[in-house]
């Protein structure tokens, strides 16, 4: 059977491996301790935060069908949030999300979907791949210490675009397309409180400032009770402040959160920050996955389409479908 290495076990890599797993021997390498990538959840003493993707929508029939068994099993559910839009003059719009345009979350955390998808796969965790050496049909992977991670016929990267160029051999014919793809960063500020907050909403899209999103994460279904507020910076602010200290970023985002909501959040009993170096790619036109059949190399990920959970799914499925006749 053809041996395929997938670098990265975010949604695109997991979907790819599940879709093509009957036709090839697939091993995934993931640098983190768990899988799911940017569909991430962090817990701390009674608080719980989805510090990457907040929710996702399903516009395509294929993603809707894929989600059906997950919805039945309760791994994914609808989040009918009280949603507001906030601009410079305060709240400018309000609505309650409902079944007409469903907004989904993983249960009990956003990482649940990845966990289920990874259950039956061959995944090597805690293993950042540093180099791909060799030639088409005989690729060898190495980790940061130069350890040999095995030989493979094909290598598929499912990492953010900014990391593809550093990993892929120069022979990869789609490098130009990857390099043109920007993925601005984002900060996620996690605040835990000993008491409920007096906010009239669960989720807020914030415009024109350092902050782009605030959600009361314990309002999502199936969460722990601890009052958990998740604040995301805007991509522009993150890019301008990417090399600042955590202390600076936390203090700025706290001040801004209090200003936007009109409440003092300095009483938070838990404060943590996560820096996403590569967070949200813009829209990209072209193939949903980049496959070089001569070199037996491929690159997938949300950035092939757009920074959305659904796009990561579509990219993984597209590559699996096109590679089926090649492996
Ligand atoms: C702050 C934030 C908010 C978001 N909000 C939303 C939202 O509300 N709705 C929505 O639809 N989408 C949202 N997204 C986007 C969504 O999370 C992504 O579109 C989707 O999760 C991308 O999946 P992926 O598989 O393409 O990439 P990733 O999830 O990034 O997976 C890549 C994987 O590769 C691993 N990796 C990287 N380099 C290496 C290496 N050298 N060796 C081994 N492993 C490696 C990483 O650890 C990661 O697990 C958000 C993202 C962020 C960061």
pLDDT in tens, 10-61: 999 999 999 999 999 999 999 999 999 999 999 999 999 999 999 999 999 9
- pTM for the complete prediction? 0.97
Ligand 1: does its nearest atom lie under 6 Å from the Cβ of 203?
Answer: no
Q: What confidence score (pLDDT) does residue 173 get?
A: 96
Ligand 1: does its nearest atom lie under 6 Å from the Cβ of 50?
Answer: no
Ligand 1: does its nearest atom lie under 6 Å from the Cβ of 254?
Answer: no
Alpha-carbon gap, residue 137 to 119, rounded angstroms:
28
Atom of ligand 1 nearest to the CA of 279: 53
Ligand 1: does its nearest atom lie under 6 Å from the Cβ of 305?
Answer: no
Q: Are 10 and 37 in contact (CB under 8 A)?
A: yes
Domain locations in the chain as residue ranges: 3-31+127-181+286-323, 42-110+184-276
Q: What confidence score (pLDDT) does residue 140 get?
A: 98
Alpha-carbon gap, residue 236 to 26, rounded angstroms:
38
Q: What confidence score (pLDDT) does residue 240 get?
A: 97
Position 182 pLDDT exceeds 90: no
Position 289 pLDDT exceeds 90: yes
Q: What confidence score (pLDDT) does residue 178 get?
A: 92
Among protein residues, the one whose CA lies closest to atom 1 of ligand 1: 52
Q: How many residues does the chain have?
A: 327
Ligand 1: does its nearest atom lie under 6 Å from the Cβ of 189?
Answer: no
Q: What confidence score (pLDDT) does residue 89 get?
A: 85
Task: Quote the ligand 1 centre to 279 CA distance (angstroms).
Answer: 7
pLDDT tens digit sequence for 104-150? 999 999 999 999 999 999 999 999 999 999 999 999 999 999 999 99
Across the range 265-287, mean pLDDT stands at 93
Q: What confidence score (pLDDT) does residue 252 get?
A: 97
Alpha-carbon gap, residue 26 to 18, rounded angstroms:
9
Position 99 pLDDT exceeds 90: no
Position 74 pLDDT exceeds 90: yes
Of the two residues 268 and 88, the one the predictor is more confident about is: 268
Q: Identify the DSSP state of 13.
A: H
CATH class in words for 42-110+184-276: alpha beta
Q: Which residues pair with 206 in a beta bridge?
A: 86
Task: Quote the ligand 1 centre to 280 CA distance (angstroms).
Answer: 9
Report the CATH architecture of 3-31+127-181+286-323.
3-Layer(bba) Sandwich (3.50)
Q: Distance between alpha carbon 322 and the CA centroid of its chain, in Å?
A: 23
Ligand 1: does its nearest atom lie under 6 Å from the Cβ of 308?
Answer: yes
Among protein residues, the one whose CA lies closest to atom 19 of ligand 1: 308
Across the range 180-197, mean pLDDT stands at 94
Q: What confidence score (pLDDT) does residue 85 get?
A: 97
Among protein residues, the one whose CA lies closest to atom 53 of ligand 1: 279
Ligand 1: does its nearest atom lie under 6 Å from the Cβ of 276?
Answer: yes
Q: What confidence score (pLDDT) does residue 266 get?
A: 86
Q: What confidence score (pLDDT) does residue 179 get?
A: 86
Atom of ligand 1 nearest to the CA of 311: 19
């Amino acid at each position: 059977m053809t041996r395929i290495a997938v670098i990265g076990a975010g949604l695109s890599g997991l979907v790819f491996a599940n879709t093509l797993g009957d036709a090839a021997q697939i091993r995934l390498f993931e640098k983190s301790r768990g899988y799911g990538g940017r569909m991430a959840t962090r817990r701390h003493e009674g608080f719980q935060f989805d510090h990457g993707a907040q929710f996702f929508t399903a516009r395509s029939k294929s993603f809707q069908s894929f989600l059906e068994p997950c919805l039945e099993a309760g791994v994914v559910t609808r989040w009918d949030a009280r949603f507001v839009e906030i601009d410079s003059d305060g709240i400018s719009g309000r609505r309650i999300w409902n079944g007409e345009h469903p907004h989904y979350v993983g249960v009990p955390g956003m990482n649940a979907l990845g966990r289920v998808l990874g259950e039956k796969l061959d995944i090597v965790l805690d293993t950042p791949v540093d180099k791909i050496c060799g030639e088409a049909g005989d690729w060898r992977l190495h980790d940061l210490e130069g350890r040999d991670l095995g030989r493979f016929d094909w290598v598929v990267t499912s990492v953010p675009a900014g990391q593809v160029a550093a990993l892929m051999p120069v022979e990869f014919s789609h490098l130009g397309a990857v390099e043109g793809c920007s993925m601005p960063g984002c900060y996620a500020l996690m605040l835990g409180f000993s008491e409920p907050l007096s906010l009239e909403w669960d989720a807020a899209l914030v415009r024109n400032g350092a902050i782009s999103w605030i959600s009361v994460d314990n309002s999502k279904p199936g969460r722990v009770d601890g009052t958990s507020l998740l604040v995301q910076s805007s991509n522009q602010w993150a890019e301008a402040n990417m090399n600042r200290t955590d202390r600076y970023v936390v203090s700025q985002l706290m001040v801004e959160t209090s200003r936007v909501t009109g409440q003092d959040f300095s009483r938070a009993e838990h404060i943590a920050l996560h820096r996403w170096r590569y967070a949200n790619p813009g829209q990209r036109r072209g193939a949903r996955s980049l496959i070089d059949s001569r070199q037996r190399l491929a690159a997938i990920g949300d950035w092939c389409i757009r920074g959305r959970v659904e796009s990561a799914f579509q990219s993984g499925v597209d590559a699996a479908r096109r590679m089926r006749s090649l492996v």
